[in-house]
Structure formats: C-alpha cells, structure tokens
C-alpha cells in the first residue's frame, strides 16, 4: 500500500528549518544575479560568495534526510561529478 495524500500534507522537517532554507536561498539569488550573463559551464558552479550558503543548505538537507557524513560526502562527490 502506498503513502496516502495525508502524509504529503506534513513537511519533512520543522517549518523553522524551511524558513532558514528560504532565507539562505534568498541570499544566494542576488549574488548569482550579480554575475550577469556567464557561460553555462560557469553557472554550474556558484560564486565564491554564494557557495557557503549553498554548503549550509546542503548540510541541513542531508541532516534532515538522515544521511551520515560519509553518505553526504559520497552524494556530494557524485553530484559534483555530474557537473
């Protein structure tokens, strides 16, 4: 039996965490916008000023998903290889 719609109504983590993630994302947006028109390959990496915010977002999401630091590191490595 699958997950019912009721399970989707609850967030996977506290709303305060969501608010922090939104705030961090809002800090990244102007930093990346300021980079202007750049090559797509350059866009695949965030600016040095934006990267710390993304690192915190990643660590927060990995922790919320219950990943160990080794699992998070492996996932980060796989994702970076895709870029």
Could you read off the pLDDT of 11-64 as tens digits, one per residue? Answer: 677 888 888 999 999 999 999 999 999 988 888 889 999 999 999 999 998 888
pLDDT at 10: 63
pLDDT grade for 4, boundaries at 50, 70 and 90: very low
Domain ranges of the chain: 5-82
Alpha helices (H) along 4-68: 5-8, 15-33, 40-43, 51-64
Contact by Cβ (8 Å): 83, 42: no
Q: What is the pTM of this model?
A: 0.75
Could you tell me which residue, 74 or 8, shows the higher pLDDT? Answer: 74
Packing angle of the helix pair 15-33, 51-64 (nearest 10 deg): 150
Question: Does pLDDT of 68 surpass 60?
Answer: yes
pLDDT at 74: 92
């Amino acid at each position: 039996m699958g997950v019912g719609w009721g399970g989707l109504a609850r967030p996977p983590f506290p709303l305060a965490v969501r608010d922090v993630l939104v705030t961090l994302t809002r800090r990244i947006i102007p930093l990346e916008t300021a980079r202007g028109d750049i090559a797509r390959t350059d866009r695949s990496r965030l600016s040095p000023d934006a990267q710390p915010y993304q690192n915190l977002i990643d660590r927060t999401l990995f922790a919320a998903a219950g990943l160990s630091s080794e699992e998070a590191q492996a996932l980060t490595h796989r994702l970076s290889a895709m870029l």
